[in-house]
Amino acid sequence: MMIGFEVGNSHIVATLFAPSGQIRHSWRKPTDPNCPPQGYADWLLPLLQDAGVAAMDLRQLVIASVVPAINQPLADFCRQHLGHEAHILTRADLLSIQPQRLSNPDSIGLDRLLNVIGGRSIIAPPS
């Protein structure tokens, strides 16, 4: 299973994906740039337990963030409490899988690129 963290200016969304890629659960919390790794543990570990998911069930952890101050504490939470290193997505990662039809790709945030990629996986764009 995989957990993807989408860190926006107002909320963090943690989404649990089954091995098939289907969404099993999704949780949201307000973004707090001062939240320590233990704060993420206090939020997410009980939710994972309620969902019947153990840390050893998780194989991939991915962070996409528009709030750089959160990247390290969230990555530390993943390593300390989930036992895996998180991959922090970069703009280059996302642009490599999203066709570059953007006139100014540096002007769009990672969260918006993720929305486009997710939308394209659900509904094919017109040709």
- Tens-digit pLDDT profile for residues 50-102: 999 988 889 899 998 888 899 999 999 999 999 999 999 876 666 666 555 66
79, 71 in Cβ contact below 8 A?
Answer: no
Give the number of other Cβ atoms within 10 Å of residue 111's Cβ.
16
Burial of 44 from C-beta contacts in 10 A (0-12 / 13-18 / 19+): buried
pTM of structure:
0.79
Q: What CATH number does the domain containing 42 carry?
A: 3.30.420.40
Question: Number of folded domains in the chain?
Answer: 1
Domain range for 23 is 2-89
Q: Which two tokens stand for residue 51?
A: 């969902």
- Kindly state whether residue 70 falls inside one of the protein's structural domains: yes
Residue 72: which residues within 8 A CB-CB, separation 6 or more? none
Q: What is the pLDDT of residues 15-61, one digit of tens each?
A: 999 988 888 999 999 999 999 999 999 999 999 999 999 888 898 99
- Kindly state whether residue 16 falls inside one of the protein's structural domains: yes
- Kindly state whether residue 94 falls inside one of the protein's structural domains: no
Query: Considering only CA atoms, which of 33, 46, 41 is closest in space to residue 80?
Result: 41
- Kindly state whether residue 100 falls inside one of the protein's structural domains: no
